Amino acid sequence: MSRVVVTGGCGFIGSHLVEQLVARGDEVTIFDGTPPPAWQETARQHARFVQGDILDRTALAGAITSGVDVVYHLAAVVGVDNYLARPLDVIDVNFTGTRNVLDLAADAGAKVVVASTSEVFGKNPAVPWREDGDRVLGATAADRWTYSSSKALAEHLTFAFVRQRGLEATIVRYFNAYGPRQRPGFVVSRSVHRALNGKPVVVYDDGLQTRCFTYIDDAIAGTLLAADSPKSVGEAFNIGSMTETTIGDAAELVVKLVGPETELHHVDTGVRLGKSYEDLARRVPDNTKARTVLGWTCETSLEDGLSRTIEWSRQNPWWLALPDSGAE
């Protein structure tokens, strides 16, 4: 049994991670801004909860204490809607919040797993992206790149703590994670949400942009392997499927699985979202390093993962009642 802390443990990835940690017998503390909701029964019954803002070092110190073995740092401001509307919050939370976590974890002697993102690569055209691939970004005036830059700075902080302070830390970069409970503000979750609510599934522009969708169970498996492996210290790992799928094809698969009465609706992002938004043509990981070092494989096909997500969504009307976000 390990003593672990999960920042952002009430969020999408965090809540799934908490369930797996509890199931394997770890002693779990959740640090989040809001208590676990009613549906997060495992966390409410089997995890300690510390409420606070990740920017509040004093509150965070109530969770990351001496004797903690591993800190999973997932707290962040994420999502296109957020980094277009709240760019300052994105920078503050993702950078300063990470600094607070690393400082306290170093003092406590805990290992840290920092959740990062495929967005750090920006629009590097040389796909698939290896972990040491170049970052290619747009202009700083475009809010689109605040998230990418803030998470990249969080990675720089992590590597700096490893080298200067001897912190045991590793980075996992998720590639389009999806699954049950995800806020309906992302490609898959929003498409499923709209389809099941009888609304057209939105496709941005021509729908030829490609992504590599990673089911939540596979993402959690990679995260746990990174935490457990001594070879992961000072390393970053791409945690993502290498199966490239166009946004249009993903939307059509949702339509197929939900029912033929569902419609597709194309949105011109230049008109609806303005110059602050800039899409990526392709986003493809090279996951060789995670496979060879961690022994991780992405086992869930998109159709299988979508089927599970849709089945769960049909059974949870509270999720279907949530507002979706984005242009229509």
Among all residues, which ones are annotated catalytic? Answer: 147
288: left (phi over 0), alpha (psi -120 to 50) or beta: alpha
How many secondary structure helices (H) and strands (E) does the chain include?
Answer: 14, 13
The answer to whether 183 and 15 are in contact (CB under 8 A) is no
2 burial (CB, 10 Å; 0-12 / 13-18 / 19+) is: middle
Helix (H, G, I), strand (E, B) or coil at 245: strand
Which run of H or of E encompasses 182? none
Q: Give the integer Cα–Cα distance in Å for 313 and 325.
A: 17
Over the range 274-311, which residues count as b (16 or more CB within 10 Å of their CB) and which as e? eeebbebebbbbbbebbbeebebebebebeebbebbbe
The answer to whether 34 and 199 are in contact (CB under 8 A) is no
Write down the residue that tokens 């980075």 correspond to.
171
Token code pair at residue 176: 């389009």
